[in-house]
Chains A and B, each alone.
Chain A
Amino acid sequence: MSTYRRITITEVDDVSVIRFVDKKIVDSGSIEQLGEELNALVMVDKRSKVLLNFDNVEFMSSAALNKLISLNNKVKAANGRLKLCNLRAEIKEVFTITKLDRVFDLRKSEVDAISAFKL
């Protein structure tokens, strides 16, 4: 089991629900650490159903966005599933502009996302 400082993990059914500690994900050192922790979820802890809940996140830079893309690539390679939920309108707009809304499965709420894992 890895140690996590930038994220918290709760288990809902068989889904690992991840929340971010930082409201603003912008500091480069924290982003690097976040990237390592997200990778550890899949590569070390072997979690295969991962839900990123953004309800605490007010801002994230594209460097943080890049870490999510790396996570998505790792989850896919491990035949796992990744979903995102509770994104503020401002952050969702970034996904739309960059067309990453086609890459990620964005869900309105945690309940909605958890049920989507069961489909």
Chain B
Amino acid sequence: MMSVQDQWLYDQTLPSDLDVGHAAIEELMTALGSAGWEGMDVFRIQMAIEEAVVNAIEHGNKRDPEKWIRLVFEVTPTKATLTIMDQGEGFDHRNVADPTTEELLEKPRGRGVMLMRELMNEAIFNEAGNQVTLVKIRSVEIPE
């Protein structure tokens, strides 16, 4: 049996570049594997972190090369805590339109925040709306 890593910590300040952001996500995915995470949980975390990082770079920092994002990750075998910060103006996270309503359901946008909230146990935004902490508690998966 492979050894399971007890705790992985990551704290990096990175430029507003999607390739750099995706490389950081790949590091996170590798760390989750090393900590014994698998299946649906790994997919859910990848989906949520992808939304958060792309939002931070594209909507938060508007791809401004002068602005940075900061990623702080903590992964243990049972819990993943992921904080994503940007230097943008933030947004009103309390008033995000529900993308599942009749009038928005077929619009090709606006699902990122909902997916983060639904796929993770917690998605906590700061007051300004330029920082989010995503928390996932590992599920007990029933083998098929």
Contacts and interface: CB of A to CB of B under 8 A. Distances in A.
Interface of A: 26-28, 59, 61-63, 65-67, 69-70, 72-73, 89-91, 93-94, 97-100, 102-103
Given A97-B115, A97-B119, A99-B105, A26 B100 contact: no
Contacts of B118: 97
B44 A102 contact: no
Contact of B50 (A61, A66, A98): A61
Interface string B7-38: 00000000000100010000000000000000
B111 interface: yes
A90 B106 CA distance: 21
Nearest to A88: B43
A90 B40 contact: yes
Given A26-B50, A90-B40, 18 more contacts: A28-B18, A28-B54, A61-B50, A61-B51, A62-B111, A62-B115, A66-B109, A67-B108, A69-B107, A69-B108, A72-B106, A73-B106, A93-B40, A93-B44, A94-B47, A97-B114, A98-B99, A103-B105
A61 B54 contact: yes
A61 B47 contact: yes
Interface residues of B, number: 24
B78 interface: no
B54 A70 contact: no
Contact of A70 (B22, B43, B108): B108
Contacts of B44: 90, 93
Contacts of A63: 54
B46 interface: yes
Most buried by B among A27, A89, A98, A100: A98
